Chain A
């Protein structure tokens, strides 16, 4: 596609429920990144994919967070048993080679 697409754009969920966030990167971009941004804060790195593999999972804040990427394309970030501190904007970006990252518009997650 022309840009990085994320869905849903907004998600409100009850504490304790699981959520799945989806990212469609730019076609042909081999690298895919997940970041999150809490209100008024900078971007926090979560995970990086090169193809379908995730060599760097160091940023995942807890074992409730997991991510996968299939076919070298779409990625899903799953948060199990959501907590209120998980409320944030979750941003996905993709890149190819040494190009800059192209970000999606993010998913605003609110845990109530």
Chain B
């Protein structure tokens, strides 16, 4: 298995532009998570899906952020409009369901976003 795939690996954009981050989870995994890592806040959970349905988006910082999972093999995290404070590394992770909640999460390589 190729593991969790994220694209792009690096994104540099200007303030006000729309940014779309993409994720392909591990085949067969039921959960998909979007995280953001910053120096100040460490690893923050933004939103997670179970069987393609958003379950908890309480970590999404504001309405400029949105996430979708149209099918079991693809998810997007969109920022519109982007701001310099959105600069961070964004990780996608997926996990199986062990019958009592999420199992070990496997992370993608991340997308480093820089908003100028």
Do A and B make up one complex?
no
